[in-house]
Chain A
Amino acid sequence: MSEQIRQVGPKDYLIGEDQIVIRTVLHSDVPPSEIPKATVNILLGAEPYFTFVADINGKRIRGNNYNYAEVFDDFDNIVDMLSKRAKALRIVKSSATAEGLANEMIEDIISLFVLTRAMLFKAKTRSSGES
């Protein structure tokens, strides 16, 4: 991806403008930095989980709960779903259905964003636990 800002030309038409704010939240009974060591809590059922609130073009959505231990599995599932929706988008029969499907795909993509933040958090707390 180019780092350079390209000038928008006279025959460039704006076809979509997405303004998105995503807040990723961790719910845990122990301090975040202690989670990698807190296996007993996790075994007792107090597993930490991630959730999120997103404003997508002024519409607020609240995300699913993603269990700490399963963020990659959830990522995998959403990638599958997104691919299926993209395939469906190519063959839908009406513009309204296409619009609805595209909006669902944007919500899938936001979930991937949140799960990326969750995996980053896990990577960083894992490494701080090792040091």
Chain B
Amino acid sequence: MSEEKESKGTLLSEDRLSVKTFADTNHNTTRYFAEIEVNGKRITSEKHASTDLFKDFERTVESLYRKAEILQTLSSPRAADALAEDMINDIAELILLTRALLDKTKSWRLWKQEP
């Protein structure tokens, strides 16, 4: 982390996050995935079935919370860096799952012919 001086405070980090969320309709159940880029590093997420979205969201939140509990006790910088990177991947996954939940909700409303 850089520690550049700003006019107010110290800039600890500047992070660039890109999450492109896709719906894959090749199957009977729509599956969602994302192309994720965190500070120039690209990864592709797992696919999440539309039927599992809320369960996957809750599971990711719980996993993130457990990792945060560990991070506040770590004293090794290398281990802390690795764990924080893992948490940031979870956070990107939550963005994908939020977009997917929204898509599912809106599709459901469309199906119910919302005025």
A residues whose Cβ falls under 8 Å from a Cβ of B? 1-6, 8-9, 11-28, 32, 50-51, 71-72, 75-76, 79, 82-83, 86-87, 89-90, 92, 94-95, 98-99, 102, 105-106, 109, 112-113, 115-124, 126-128, 130
Contact = CB atoms under 8 A, between A and B. Distances in A.
Nearest to A21: B16
Q: Top 10 nearest A-B pairs by Cβ distance?
A: A16-B99, A123-B80, A16-B21, A25-B9, A102-B102, A120-B84, A27-B9, A6-B44, A20-B17, A12-B22
Contact of A24 (B13, B21, B81): B13
Given A5-B44, A117-B15, A119-B72, A98 B26 contact: no
Interface of B: 1, 3, 6, 8-26, 32-33, 35, 42-46, 54, 57-58, 61, 64-65, 68-69, 71-72, 74-77, 80-81, 84, 87-89, 91, 93-96, 98-103, 105-106, 109-110, 114
